[in-house]
Structure 1
Amino acid sequence: MRLLLPPGGRAIRTAAGDPVRGWTPSGALAANIEITSATVQRGDVIQIGGQPCRVADLIQLPAGAKRLCFESGELLTVHARTRLVALRMQRKW
């Protein structure tokens, strides 16, 4: 599913209807994608416990695992086989 953001693209909404704050480039597309520890990127928004969390940093761990550091300061360790759904901003110029 892809959503075209409104002009200015300042906020997007999660599946729960809560706004995800932060600057979004206008003309960007938001897509729900399945991610693993190998494909997660900074800026991905993952909904955990009903709260949208934006990935701020990634730390590589042994055996293909990664520790995700969110903008809110929380941490999540993702095993190599863990699959999550994330909202990713994509530029299609």
Structure 2
Amino acid sequence: MSNWAPGGAPVSNVEITAATVLRGDIIQVGGRACLVSDLFQLPQGSKQLLFESGELLTINGRTRRVAVRMMGRGDAVRDVSPPRRR
């Protein structure tokens, strides 16, 4: 299902796992919307998510959550784009 954010950007609810979570995803934790600002790879496929609020959440390879994701922001780009060469 796709909706529109107040700024006019299309958003979609997506199921995320440790393998598919992206910076910028908004995950509801404890009734609060938390924006993922950084990701850290941990052993055995786990990831630690750093939220904009400074809080951390660790998810393992089998964790499944629903997140809100802005569409058209380069979803194929995971963390950092490689440098461009000329």
How large is the RMSD of aligned CA atoms in angstroms? 1.3
Mapped partners of 2:68, 2:55: distance in 1: 18
Mapped partners of 1:5, 1:58: distance in 2: 24
How far did 1:35 drift? Answer: 0.3
Q: How does 1:10-21 map to 2 (within 5 A)?
A: none
**Equivalent position of 1:3 in the other structure:** 3
Deviations 1:14-72 (A, max 9, x none): xxxxxxxxxxxx4x211000000000000000000110000000000000000000000
Runs ≥4 residues deviating over 4 A: none
2:16 is aligned, of 25, 30, 35, to 35
TM-score normalised to structure 1 length = 0.74
TM-score normalised to structure 2 length = 0.80
Structure 1: 5+ residue stretches without partners: 10-25
How far did 1:91 drift? Answer: 1.6
Mapped partners of 2:18, 2:3: distance in 1: 25
> What SS does structure 1 have at the residue aligned with 2:44?
helix
**Equivalent position of 2:81 in the other structure:** none
Structure 2: 5+ residue stretches without partners: 74-86
Aligned length: 73
**Equivalent position of 2:47 in the other structure:** 66
